[in-house]
Amino acid sequence: MSATIARRAPLVGVAALAVALGIGGGTALALWDDDEVLTASIGSGMVGLAVEKLGTHEAQVADGPGARPGVTLGPAEAERLLADGEVAVGIRVDARADGNKGLRYGLELPVLDGASLLGNSTVRVFRVAPDTACTPETEPLPGTPVATWTPADADGDGTYVPGTDPGWDGTGLGSVPVAAHYDAPWTAVERWCVVAELGDMPDEGSYTNTATVAVEVDGATYTGRDSWYTDVTTAADPAGEPAHTIRFSHTTFRPGE
């Protein structure tokens, strides 16, 4: 029995090896191969500009390069201006430019309506430190420009006497809050103040009336005269104040631009 097995087994063993070596017809051995996998990815950064009238918690956010978010002054500011003779409004600017990009922005100041309360005020627009409160007494950040709107009659003496044409001077306001350098901060918060002081409205002034009476009695003339005076204050209604919007335009730039 064991002798029979010993004679048969080598035949089977040779066939297995033959199969393993791919010798002869039939089964073929697969060719060798090897591989490795390499992966890599990188993320993209963002830019942004948002402006907000302090106290509103409503930011206007730029959604593209041509967007000009703005802050609007209107009836609320006019009411304070008429009641107090002055008003101050703060504007917050948030800027962002990641990586090798920088961002600069500029202010576009509106032409103020000559019949409006703000249009007949001396209005100053200037930058302050980010944590500075905007009051009528606030001073600009040292070394930064101020834009001033001078009305037709700024002296506020109660009598409207037009002087020069109203208009802005020093309108080139702006800032470069984010530099185009990978190591520089990618975000910045800045603040602007708008301070207005009411001048004379076109319908303000004084009224004087003098009455004279002459009576002739028995050939003699008797004359009496009396006069009365009143100030005429403006009939301007703050609720009718038009919207005056200061807009912020911006551009992004690469190093060296």
Partner 1 sequence: MTATSRIAVAGAALVVAIGAGAATYSLWAGDSAGSAGVITAGDLDIALRPDGFAWEETSPDVGAPRSGTAPESFAAFVAMSGDSFTVSQEFTTTLEGDNLLGRLTVGWAAPPDLPAGVSATYRVLGAGNQVQAAARLGEPVEVRDLPVGTGTWTVEVDLDLAEDRPDRYTTFSGADPVELSDLGDIVVSVEQVRTGTGFE
Q: Which residues bind partner 1 (CB under 8 A)?
A: 1, 4-5, 8-10, 12-14, 16-17, 20-21, 31-48, 50, 59, 61-65, 94, 96, 98-101, 182, 252, 254-257
Whole-Å CA distances, 177 to 49, 64, 189: 10, 18, 8
- Six token digits for residue 110: 């509106």
Token code pair at residue 26:
């039939």
Q: Which is nearer to partner 1, 78 or 180 (CB)?
A: 180
Rounded to a whole number of angstroms, the minimum distance from the CB of residue 176 to partner 1 is 16
CA distance 11 to 102: 82
Secondary structure (3-state) at 57: coil
Least distance in angstroms from the C-beta of 30 to partner 1: 9
Of 110 and 177, nearer to partner 1 (C-beta) is 177
* Residue (4 or 212) nearer to partner 1, CB: 4
Compute the least distance from the CB of residue 97 to partner 1, in Å.
8
Sign of CA dihedral 151, 157, 162, 164: negative
**Residue pair 6/13 in contact by the 8 Å Cβ criterion:** no
Least distance in angstroms from the C-beta of 101 to partner 1: 5
Determine the Cα–Cα distance for residues 203 and 75; give it in Å rounded to an integer: 19
Looking at beta carbons only, is 244 or 250 nearer to partner 1?
250
Query: Considering the complex, what minimum distance in angstroms separates the CB of residue 113 from partner 1?
Result: 32
How far is Cα 137 from Cα 81, in angstroms, rounded to an integer? 15
198 close to 85: Cβ distance less than 8 angstroms: yes
Write down the least CB distance from residue 144 to partner 1, Å.
25
Which is nearer to partner 1, 47 or 196 (by Cβ)? 47
Residue nearer to partner 1 on the CB measure, 45 or 114:
45
User: How far is residue 200's CA from residue 115's CA, in Å, rounded to a whole number?
Assistant: 11
